[in-house]
Amino acid sequence: MTASTSALRPWTSIRRQFSPKNVALAATHRVPRRRPVQRVLPGFSLSLGITLTYLSLVVLIPLLTLFLKTSQLSWPQFWEAVAAPRVVATYLLSFGAALAAALLNAAFGLLLAWVLVRYNFPGRKLIDTLVDLPFALPTAVAGIALTALYSKNGWLGSLLEPLGVKVAFTPLGVFVALVFIGLPFVVRTVQPVLEDHDAEFEEAAASLGASRLRTWMQVIFPALLPALLTGVALSFARAVGEYGSVIFIAGNMPYVSEITPLIIITKLEQYDYRGATAVAVVMLFFSFLLLLAINLLQAWSARRSGRQP
């Protein structure tokens, strides 16, 4: 066999493979098509359209209207509206009381979550249910109840008044109301993390000679810290914009017990729409900062717990 014949043999086999007869046979054996996956919800385009429409009507358009109304003010007018002494006093009370309430809820919320998770006692289920009461209770009802409780003739107010402690219609009343509505955020954020925490780590630390305080500080608390910070941020964010439960017990005295949401309502009642929207933009700016902080804390918590790579 010559070299030229052996060189042409591969080309001959290729021609036979792609002959018209073989191509026609291959065409008859079609690969079955995969059926599209049937989904309960509509397609992506329809779902995305409905979602964006709803989000625009509920969130985006009202926020855009707020900024458009504020843009009608010049910078000196805007600064005069948001930096007036009476408005600044409401900032100090709203943010100061909210921060103090969040810090207090951090301590007692952590303690309450620890008791509910680690101990069994009569009435535990009842206490666990009562933690969610501020979520279910209308804010106005909560404000009226706190006012009746801490007023001069109330159950607790009548005991505190002789001691010189006045709660209702003072900044202290604002603080009490914010503690009431912010406590569940800390408890419900820390509680599931504490339930998932393996007690074997504590037993290992004890077997290595660690004291209870050292075990708490170096084993338990670092695992709870991201969830605790998230709960504190959520409690603070809720307290900053709280209105219903505060308005009744605050007293609403200018420069003393007036909160920022109330000053916005006051400006609206006086038909000062631009001034009200200017103060609302300031509150919205701080709300965005709080939302960013909460998202960063949740991402940090997820990385520490291993839920994200």
Q: Taking the chain (309 residues) in consecutive chunks of 10 residues, what is each chunk's mean pLDDT?
A: 50 53 53 57 75 87 86 89 92 93 94 91 90 89 91 88 89 93 93 84 78 81 86 90 89 88 90 90 87 81 62
pLDDT recorded at residue 3: 47
Give 274-290 pLDDT, tens digit per residue.
889 999 999 888 888 88
From the candidate CATH numbers 3.40.109.10, 1.20.1440.20, 1.20.140.10, 1.10.3720.10, the one assigned to the domain spanning 73-305:
1.10.3720.10
Task: Please say whether the beta carbons of 185 and 231 come within 8 A.
Answer: yes
Q: Give the pLDDT score at 254.
A: 86
What are phi and psi for residue 151, nearest 5 degrees?
-70, 175
pLDDT given at position 11: 47
pTM: 0.78
Query: So what's the pLDDT on residue 7?
Result: 47
Q: Could you tell me which residues come within 8 angstroms of residue 100 by beta carbon, excluding any fewer than 6 positions away?
A: 175
**pLDDT digits 0-9 by tens, 153-202:** 888 888 898 888 899 889 999 999 999 999 999 999 999 988 887 777 77
Which residue has tokens 């902080």? 293
* pLDDT confidence of residue 40: 60
- Predicted pLDDT at 37: 57
* Contacts of range 145-154, beta carbons closer than 8 Å, 24 or more positions apart: 146/173, 146/176, 146/177, 146/180, 146/245, 146/248, 146/249, 147/173, 147/248, 147/249, 150/176, 150/249
